[in-house]
Amino acid sequence: MPKKRRTAATVKSMVHGVIEGAGQVQEQPIVDTLEKNYMPYAVSVIMSRAIPEIDGFKPSHRKLLYTMYKKGLLTGSLTKSANIVGETMKLNPHGDAAIYDTMVRLSRGYEALLHPYVESKGNFGKFYSRDMAWAASRYTEAKLAPICTELFSDIDKDTVDFVPNYDNTMEEPTLLPARFPSVLVNANTGIAVGMASNVCSFNLKEVCETTIARMQNPKYDVLSTLQAPDFPGGGQILYDREQMEEVYRTGRGSIRVRSRYSYDETANCIDITQIPPTTTVEAIVEKVIDLVKQGKAKEISDIRDETGLAGLKITIDLKRGTDPTKLMTKLFRMTPLEDSFSCNFNILVDGAPKVMGVGEILDAWTKFRINCVRRRTEYDLQKKMDKLHLLIGLQAILLDIDKAIKIVRETEEESEVVPNLMIGFGIDETQAEYVAEIKLRHLNREFILKRTDEIGELQKQIAELNAILDSDRRIKAIIIKELKNVADLYGQPRRSILLYADQIEEESEEEEIPDYPVNLFFTKDGYFKKITPQSLRMSNDQKLKEGDIVLEHIESTNNSDLLFFTDRCQVYKARTNDFSDTKASVLGDYIPAKLQMDEGENAMFMVATKDYQGTLVFFFENGKAAKVELLSYETKTNRKKLVNAYSDKSPLVKMFCLLEDIEILLTSTQGRMLLVHTGAVPVKTTRSTQGVQVMTLRRSAKLQKAEAFIESSGILKNPQHYRKTIPAIGSLPSKEELSGEQLTF
């Protein structure tokens, strides 16, 4: 056979190899791609990075603290932070910057925790400052704080599981056997994939007392001893019991926190010394400066950041005659000096993320701690049983020490010493090994008697440990004793004070907002425009989305209230001055987005009022009409959303805001028409009232249209034909009404 000729491409493929399918586009199902590529990443972030576990730590925290513990920094002196970071990289395969950032947050100097775990020396920055950066790790020093004794106590007694590190060269704990609920004592924040966690801090002493009470009585009211969180930066918590109960029950909700300040009458300035945990000094100063520039804080002559070695301090200089209380009330409303902490108690329990209330978290920690104490007790029991076993073997040779010596001396081979002792005294290999290792100087009766005297004490201790293991009550008693000890050693007074509703001074005077005439436009698709008369005279050509139309055009003023009624029986309130003046040539503000309506909710009608005078008349598809005073929608507090704005028993066809009663022309799907005078509809006090029947509908008919009727408009040639005593079925249009109309298809 002739040889097959080799081409250059064939030779090249033989030398370098060929990648099968190279250069070809292959289809791959998106679900398979997500499962293979994205899901492992998401699980890793949730389980091994962002969400804290029941011991109160994320893996990065735990690896750092355990490294410091193994380096002897719990009792030793300070060491360079760079040394700690380098050692931690044996457990944490991330860059040194990420590890050092973790150490900074745990340090006393950074002031982010109520009970810092790291004693620091040098510049570690400040939690409340955005621009105050910490020094590099080569310049700072650190060691473990004394409270870490409670984190690592008994960690060498098999209280928690250990796993190999990433390169299988050493082991690390999966959890720390914390003797107190550190998960609630120090704040923790993390953003994972599809979920997040934001746990606020609570006072250590209050947490320990509450945990003890909860262990003794599972139905204990947590709020009675754990009234509210306690933030490292202090501040004033605006206490709302209902809101706090919601947070404690569900693990979600928000807590309003105000700054603390003092007024220096001599210097006529306000000194702010504590701020909410969700903001920074720079953010507050920038916002106040912005208000001054806008002319909304004319009482302020200067503001400066005077933070120094004494701690946080923002000084606001006031103009002569300024009331500091009124000014601070305004600043609380308009700046981050008052802010909300959003709680999301999402914690990993038994390897799964779970959002829990405070009571559930304490129960989960108690379960975890019971397991730790049980494992520690089993470890101690095993050690004492092993020791007792050896001493019983030692006791056996007390009967004849000379015999033991004789066996050892007469045994020719060393390997036969242990078997011969086992035969000679009837002891097992472990006991014989122990006896054989005793030094010659200890082969006397006094030494052996002293050692065997421990047998009775060991037996008592073993019985005690067995009794503990057999009783959950005794295990809980041990945990309670440890909690009391921790509270006594490390308890501190509250930093955040509570402000109750009767202590909160709200701003009584309305902010001076310019009042001037405006034209308000509201469209079918939910767009809103506020246009001045001057601007409207220049151009009245309204820009709208395709298919959109203007539903309402109201002449009002800049200081009026706006009520937007939605298709979900809700009303959203706003002020006209919340919207910027605009022109007819723009689309305007999209109301569902502007007012943060619920997903899929649409605005249907708009009402503008200054004094809430007049009535609202609602017409429904079932032929009923409801009349409600506009005053029913006035609220004393600054509420932005009202539910049950009108009845949900039948779809709403149209609503009218009236200062005086008028006639409304109703049209049903069967073509019947009825003129209804709104004065005949009685006023109801309940917003969600179903109203009264005004148009009687037959079979599957519905009310199709409702429109204001003016007799002089000429819409109806014989209006009297359609005026009936309600409820009425209405009348079909007469021939003269239909004359001149063309058929439409």
Element (H, E) at 624: strand 624-629
CA nearest 391: which of 325, 336, 457, 439?
457
Q: Are 354 and 346 in contact (CB under 8 A)?
A: yes
Catalytic residue among 38, 41, 139, 516: 139
Q: How far apart are CA 263 and CA 223, in angstroms?
A: 33
The residues, any chain, with a CB within 8 Å of residue 495's CB and separated by 6 or more, are 114, 230, 231, 232, 233, 234
Q: Is 434 a catalytic residue?
A: no
Comparing C-alpha atoms, which of 386, 382, 398, 381 is closest to residue 451? Answer: 398
Nearest to 644 by CA among 742, 571, 543: 571
C-alpha span between 455 and 468 (Å, rounded) = 20
3-state secondary structure 330-375: HHHHHCCCEEEEEEECEEEECCEEEECCHHHHHHHHHHHHHHHHHH
The residue written with tokens 């019947």 in the block is: 672
User: Prior bond to 727 cis, omega within 30?
Assistant: yes
38 phi and psi angles, rounded to 5 deg: -90, -40
d(CA 296, CA 286) in angstroms, rounded, equals: 14
Position 382, amino acid = Q
580-606: string of b/e by CB count within 10 Å (b at 16+)? eebebeebbbbbbebbebeeebebbbb
> What's the alpha-carbon Rg for the chain, to the nearest Å?
39
CA distances from 729 to 446, 681, 690, 719 (A): 117, 16, 19, 15
Biggest CA–CA distance in the chain, Å, is 139
Q: Which residues make Cβ contacts (< 8 Å) with residue 280, sequence separation at least 6? A: 128, 129, 130
Phi, psi of 57 (to 5 degrees): -130, 150
Distant-in-sequence, close-in-space partners of 695: CB < 8 Å, separation ≥ 6: 623, 666, 668, 672, 674, 676, 703, 726, 727, 728, 729, 730
Q: Which of 669, 638, 672 is nearest to 653 (CA)?
A: 669
Q: Check if the beta carbon of residue 631 is closer than 8 Å to that of residue 676.
A: no
Say which DSSP state 308 is in: B
Q: Using the CB atoms, write b or e for 718-738: b if 16+ within 10 Å.
A: eeebbebebbbbbbebeeebe
- Are the CB atoms for 357 and 248 separated by under 8 Å? yes
Separation in Å, CA 159 to CA 61, 148, 475 = 19, 16, 14
Cβ neighbours of residue 438 under 8 Å, at least 6 residues apart?
A: 394
The secondary structure of residue 49, as a DSSP letter, is: I
Q: Cβ distance 162 to 175 under 8 Å?
A: no
Sign of the dihedral defined by the CA atoms of residues 180, 185, 188, 193, in that order: positive
Q: What residues are annotated to the active site? A: 139
